[in-house]
Amino acid sequence: MNRSADDDGFTLIEVIVAIALISIVLTSMTAFFVRGQILGDHYAGRQDAVRLATAALARTDGLGGDGVLTGRDQGGVLAQTVVAGVESYLTDGEQIWDDDAQAGDGATAALPTVPVQVTVNQVAYTESWYVRRCWLATSRSTCNLINATASGKMEFYRIVVAVQWRDRGCPAGRCSYFLATLVSPADDPIFPLPPTAAPSTSATPSASASPSPSVSATPSVSPTPSVSPTPTVSPTPSVSPTPSVSPTSSGGTPAAIWVNHTSGYVNPAAMWVSSAGLTVNGLVHSNSDLRIEGSSLAVSPRIEYVTGQYVSDSSLPAPVAVTATTSPSWVRVVSQYAPGGSAATAAGAGYYAVPASACTSGTWTYAAGSVPATATVVYVPCSVNVTTNVSPLLVATGTITVNSASVTIGNKANPKSTGLVSGSSAVPAIQIAGSYAVVYGNVQALAGGVHLLGSYSTFQCGITADTAQIRGSSITITTDSTC
């Protein structure tokens, strides 16, 4: 097509060529952005998988020795589906299970024999736990079956966590991430000897003596208690203990962490914090000793102890020596919640008592639909395994175990009326091993221990217990006037 020099505009061929070029450029840019989005989603999903696997493996902390096997019945172990790619972690170990577990117990064990579904950022993940037994020779070669006959062999449990999720960036659209660790089957790990009071060598009490250790004296603190130097941190007779402050605020608010144990050494301490990313807003009090170690810890405003303390982080408030204080006034008395008790009567129509006949082998399962929707107080005459959200106040004569992830306990609008209460003297009496838990209301086990093993969890109204272990990472414990 010819045009004169006076004609304006483009010819049809020029327009078509321009459109084609623009289309090619836009197509290339679209492909680039789509690919970028896919890669971004892939790496974000993998990051969440790493966090989930780390938190899942943290369940082994505090279970102690054969506790990693508890509830893993033989049938459940043998029926486990092996996730593709995890075989290399399992071939050099032998299968092992809890001989005392009943058929089906594995589904609710601390380390379940069935996959657990967890949703994070709208992505569904599947967590699977595997436990194998292997032997490590003194030469520190690989822990496997070959070393079972070696001289000086040491028995271990290899625990493997497999996390799977769907992702277009992985082969066949499914990704996997694995983490493994070795755990000694010994009942108790070896920790430093308990702190002891050093006798005063001065006839005149020294007013300048400090009840707190100098952090600079320990330039490198290991997160593993078994290799930390033995702290000589108990207040000596030359130090006059600070009078105990009130454990509550002016409104009677519970402390963020209150440990009531007063006599007898607890290994490694009555209150033991070994965590990363722990945040505590409220009073931290131990009626005997405490040990706080880890990284990225934040505690405000005060830490109190009676017999001894060790704190690895110099940025935390200096622990203050106080005199022992009686049981806090806010605690609930389990017997008062039994049928006919004063607290049961006060609950009125919202009171629900689980019949003793519903307890199977001493345990009742709190599952969806297991209590009336109108219940405000649930009393259980045995141990409880929690598998779903808990809205009412849950009071049990036995232990309370929460292994499921992303569980919400209590009422955000009225946390003072909710929470968990165990009358058991077991250690732990309350164990929360599931990650991403949200708990409104006080967690109380005044006769036993409270163990927080899961990660990324929030506890709004604090912990009250005879002893406490906080081993999960990124945990927040607070208390305020609503508690």
Q: What is the pLDDT of residues 45-102, one digit of tens each?
A: 777 888 888 877 777 766 666 788 888 999 999 999 888 888 888 888 899 999 888 9
The answer to whether the CB of 213 falls within 8 A of the CB of 233 is yes
pLDDT band for position 341 (cuts 50, 70, 90):
very high
The whole-number average pLDDT for the span 384-395 is 96
Structure tokens at 402: 């929460």
Alpha helices in 1-102 (DSSP H): 12-57, 74-78, 87-90
* Residue 419 clears pLDDT 90, i.e. is over it: yes
Q: What share of the chain is helix, strand, coil (3-state, %, to 5)?
A: 20, 30, 50
Range in 231-240, 308-317, 321-330 with the lowest mean pLDDT: 231-240
* Residue 166 clears pLDDT 60, i.e. is over it: yes
Q: How far apart are CA 130 and CA 33, in angstroms?
A: 39
Residue 368 CB contacts under 8 Å (≥ 6 apart), including other chains: 387, 388
22-36, 207-221, 259-273: which is most confident: 259-273
Structure tokens at 368: 């969806």
Domain locations along the chain? 36-183, 251-483
The whole-number average pLDDT for the span 219-231 is 38
Neighbouring C-beta atoms of residue 178, cutoff 10 Å: 18
The whole-number average pLDDT for the span 223-246 is 37
pLDDT at position 7 is 56
pLDDT at position 420 is 97
Give the predicted TM-score (pTM) of the model.
Answer: 0.57
Range in 49-63, 396-410, 433-447 with the lowest mean pLDDT: 49-63
pLDDT band for position 221 (cuts 50, 70, 90):
very low
Alpha helices in 79-208 (DSSP H): 87-90
The answer to whether the CB of 395 falls within 8 A of the CB of 378 is yes
Q: How far apart are CA 135 and CA 223, in angstroms?
A: 25
Q: How far apart are CA 304 and CA 441, in angstroms?
A: 22
The whole-number average pLDDT for the span 156-171 is 87
* CB crowding 396-418: b at 16 or more within 10 Å, else e: bbbbbbbbbbbbbbbbeeebbbb
The whole-number average pLDDT for the span 11-20 is 82
- Rounded alpha-carbon distances, angstroms, from residue 126 to 135, 153, 355, 386: 29, 35, 34, 19
pLDDT at position 260 is 94
* Residue 215 clears pLDDT 70, i.e. is over it: no
pLDDT at position 294 is 86
The mean pLDDT of the chain is 80
- Rounded alpha-carbon distances, angstroms, from residue 105 to 98, 249, 385: 10, 43, 11
Long-range Cβ contacts of 178-182 (<8 Å, 24+ apart): 178/53, 178/85, 178/86, 178/89, 179/53, 179/54, 179/56, 179/57, 180/57, 180/89, 181/57, 181/60, 182/134, 182/136, 182/143, 182/156, 182/157, 182/158
Range in 53-57, 338-342, 395-399 with the lowest mean pLDDT: 53-57
Considering only residues 15 and 161, tell me which one the structure prediction assigns the higher pLDDT.
Answer: 161
Q: What is the pLDDT of residues 120-148, one digit of tens each?
A: 778 889 999 999 998 887 666 678 888 88
pLDDT at position 199 is 33
